[in-house]
């Protein structure tokens, strides 16, 4: 616990005001040089083998799988021991054993662990950026935003746990002393996505443990290197053995085992609607020996829309549409995959969007100039290409749709205009660089179309009409609604993130309510005298 011992006292460190981590200024030559050097250092470390970590023990076997560089599919980023159902049982054993001690650790000390990890992650920021670039195809700015958000989660949740550990406000009566304490749940399962493999993985994991729980972390197979390195960072920061157990492997084998085990108390998941609903259903089934209702914290998909009316700044709207639709190749649950434009300015906005999207630079994410890299893997490539073919019949191809002459899973920014509101590409989550543009007669119809989806994650309205903005605030049914800006880029503490309907349980990651999902409230009352 050396790293924890060297931290300032909790009162000195945790009570300071939370401030978001600024993004790195890559237009500065020295900053760019340092990032390029970090990329080359990480390049020399590609292809290493990573074991399971269960109860502090590192377990390596010959049965492995690989994660690859989607920009260069013949380049192995990491090799991983493939966990089995028996390993899943053993990991829950280890987490349950560790919980008996970890739950008794003072909340302030658990918060200090997160602050120590934040310091280490900050010091190694460019190295983690490079791992994201190689393993998930993120451009320099997208990778840095991911790591910065991870740092923010650590710092924010540390402060939130310190706040929850303080005496909570209650109505006082003269005859009793009463107190409310937030106590941990128990053993949790954390199943993060590949698209924000540092930020979301770190956020869900550290929210769990700072609240006093222990976890089994099953990383996304396509981004397992980043998770492995973060777990090592937590251990270096002073995380005790068994508090976080690293278990890479196929979800169909170990995921169901972890979710169904009667000792599992909660599941924190970010991913597709289909998998999230399966987890929710499986967790709802009481297993023999299970004496609690399992809690599910689910962040699922989106089919997010940017609405533009005739009063809007059309250039700003077009810029936001392109950034929202094609940032990280559209592989964000918050991506603006629908642009709903009123008839009066439809043609003008479409022309601006196509012009800006055509200028995006496609290339290897390791190159600083690249704005659009590959999609995550062969399966995603195939699925997205199939949706583009569907889109050709559902609208008019305005841009893209073809091949990119380079190795890797590249799909160019693709825009399909004149799409009907009920078309498949207008209602189904594609999770790739495909934008459906829909014409609406007026603002009322545009708002109706925006809500005509099973999802409800993010949305944006570009308008200068105060009454329409007020109406959208009431009627645009999404968890994160933005006015006159893009619908991606939520900041920890500023934009607590989570959606409605089939977008999940509205967990509001990065908000003041989030840690309550990983705790239970216990009230203690005593008669006076």
Which are the catalytic amino acids?
299, 333
The answer to whether the CB of 115 falls within 8 A of the CB of 159 is no
3-class SS at 339?
strand
The answer to whether the CB of 194 falls within 8 A of the CB of 376 is yes
The sheet that has 480-483: what strands, in order across it? 396-399, 414-417, 434-440, 336-342, 304-308, 458-462, 480-483
Q: How far apart are CA 337 and CA 335, in angstroms?
A: 6
List own/partner pairs for 83-87 with CB under 8 A and 24 or more apart: 83/52, 83/218, 83/247, 83/248, 83/249, 83/253, 83/254, 84/249, 84/253, 84/254, 85/253, 85/254, 85/257, 87/52, 87/54, 87/59, 87/247, 87/249, 87/254
Q: Which pair of tokens denotes residue 169?
A: 């406000």
Residue 113's nearest CA partner among 210, 257, 230, 250 is: 210
Rounded-to-5 percentages of helix, strand, coil across the chain: 40, 20, 35
């Amino acid at each position: 616990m050396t790293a924890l011992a060297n931290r300032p006292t909790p009162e000195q460190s945790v009570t300071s005001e939370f401030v978001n981590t600024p993004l790195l200024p890559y237009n500065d030559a020295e900053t760019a040089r340092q990032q390029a050097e970090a990329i080359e250092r990480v390049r020399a470390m590609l292809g290493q083998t990573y074991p399971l970590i269960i109860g502090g023990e590192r377990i390596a076997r010959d049965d492995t799988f690989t994660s690859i560089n989607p920009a260069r599919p013949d380049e192995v980023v990491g090799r991983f021991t493939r966990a089995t159902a028996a390993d899943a049982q053993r990991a829950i054993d280890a987490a349950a054993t560790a919980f008996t001690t970890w739950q008794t650790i003072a909340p302030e000390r658990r918060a200090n662990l997160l602050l120590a990890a934040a310091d280490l992650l900050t010091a190694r920021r460019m190295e983690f950026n490079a791992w994201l670039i190689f393993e998930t195809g993120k451009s320099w700015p997208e990778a840095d935003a991911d790591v910065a958000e991870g740092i923010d989660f650590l710092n924010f949740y540390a402060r939130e746990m310190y706040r929850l550990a303080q005496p909570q406000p209650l109505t006082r009566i003269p005859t009793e002393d009463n107190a409310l304490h937030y106590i941990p749940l128990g053993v949790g399962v954390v199943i993060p996505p590949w698209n924000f493999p540092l930020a979301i993985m770190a956020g869900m994991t550290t929210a769990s443990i700072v609240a006093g729980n222990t976890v089994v972390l099953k990383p996304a197979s396509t981004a397992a290197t980043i998770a492995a390195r973060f777990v090592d960072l937590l251990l270096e920061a002073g995380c005790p053995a068994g508090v976080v157990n690293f278990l890479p492997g196929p979800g169909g084998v170990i995921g169901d085992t972890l979710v169904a085990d009667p000792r599992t108390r909660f599941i924190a998941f970010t991913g597709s609607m289909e998998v999230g609903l399966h987890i929710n259903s499986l967790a709802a089934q009481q297993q023999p020996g299970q004496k609690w209702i399992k809690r599910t914290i689910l962040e699922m998909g989106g089919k997010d829309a940017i609405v533009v009316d005739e009063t809007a700044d059309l250039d700003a709207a077009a810029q936001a549409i392109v950034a929202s639709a094609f940032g990280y190749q559209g592989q964000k649950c918050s991506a603006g995959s629908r642009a709903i434009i009123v008839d009066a300015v439809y043609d003008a906005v479409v022309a601006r969007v196509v012009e800006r999207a055509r200028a995006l630079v496609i290339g290897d994410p390791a190159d600083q100039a690249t704005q659009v890299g590959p999609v995550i893997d062969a399966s995603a490539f195939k699925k997205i290409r199939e949706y583009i073919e569907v889109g050709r019949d559902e609208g008019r191809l305005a841009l893209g749709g073809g091949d990119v002459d380079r190795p890797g899973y590249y799909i160019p920014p693709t825009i399909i205009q004149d799409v009907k509101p009920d078309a498949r590409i207008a209602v189904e989550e594609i999770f790739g660089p495909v934008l459906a543009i829909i014409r609406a007669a007026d603002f009322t119809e545009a708002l109706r179309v925006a809500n005509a989806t099973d999802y409800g994650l993010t949305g944006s309205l570009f308008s200068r009409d105060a009454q329409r903005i007020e109406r959208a605030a009431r009627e645009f049914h999404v968890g994160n609604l933005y006015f006159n800006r893009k619908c991606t880029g939520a900041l920890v503490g500023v934009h607590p993130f989570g959606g409605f309907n089939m977008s999940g349980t509205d967990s509001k990651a990065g908000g003041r309510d989030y840690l309550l999902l990983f705790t239970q409230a216990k009230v203690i009352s005593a008669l006076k005298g």
